[in-house]
Amino acid sequence: MLDSFRLEERVAIVTGASSGLGIAFASALAEAGADVVLAARRADKLKDTAKLVEDLGRRALTVETDITDPAQCARLAAVAISEFGRVDVLVNNAGVATAYPATRETTTQFRSVIDTNLNGSYWTAQACARVMLPGSSIVNISSILGLTTAGLPQAAYSASKAAVIGLTRDLAQQWGARRGIRVNSIAPGFFATEMTGQYNDGYLEKLSSRMVLGRIGDPKELAATLVWLVSEAGGYVTGQTIVVDGGITIT
């Protein structure tokens, strides 16, 4: 049974791999046995993630990529195929978050979030699906803010993450039987990352009453869910949004 969680001879692409959850995802995939293609706009920071992957005995490839550009997404998939010969897993993790009151948010600010979180996920999934073989898996990283609210003015972010959930369902039904590609999403709650470190003092403490487990999450707990979803162990799961939030959405 435990062997069904292994990812030997698999190749995974992780976007947004230069920081935060992207690092945790890349490390977990490597620990499970996958070689990892690391994509982000900050190419210099990808070197640190690559070292983590290589220290786990797996191969790493860094590709500077702006996922808002469909041509760069296509190049990312092409480089992965050229280097490793296959793409088995895509983790659409790259994203941006803003917090502007809706009456003051500019069109540029709103469109920038949508262009990265929603459009970028679509362009990358599209590019990878064109080269993926049956048995492959795509996981889009959404957020509990696509399902609920958390006290901040985040219309653009919430809208983009809710849209990612809808995108996941549609791609799952398009690519399931026809292409043999499973597509799921994960909706994380609050995890200890660079992003949560930027919240104002007292914000997470204020939310603690909604955290059934009474704490923010460890990125390794989220990464474990990812490994399950993309492995054979999750082979009959598609079109789903898996909430990993310590219970916030049930309060």
CA atoms of 110 and 156, how far apart (whole Å): 5
Candidate list 122, 157, 199, 203, residue with the active-site label: 157
Query: How many Å apart are CA 115 and CA 219, to the nearest integer?
Result: 25
Give yes or no: 157 in active site: yes
> In angstroms, how far is CA 205 from the centroid of its own chain?
26
Q: In this structure, what DSSP letter does residue 133 have?
A: P
Q: What share of the chain is helix, strand, coil (3-state, %, to 5)?
A: 50, 15, 35
What is the CA angle 72-52-23, rounded to 5?
55
Q: Phi then psi for 127, rounded to 5 degrees?
A: -65, -40
SS3 62: strand
Half-sphere exposure (CA, 13 Å, Cβ side) for 171?
27
CA-CA distance, 76 to 172, in Å (whole number)?
22
Q: What is the H or E stretch that residue 188 is in?
A: strand 182-188
Cα three-residue angle 177-73-242, rounded to 5 degrees:
50
The first and second tokens of residue 68, run together, are 């808002």
Take residue 172 and report the two structure tokens written for it: 């799952």
Active site positions, annotated: 157
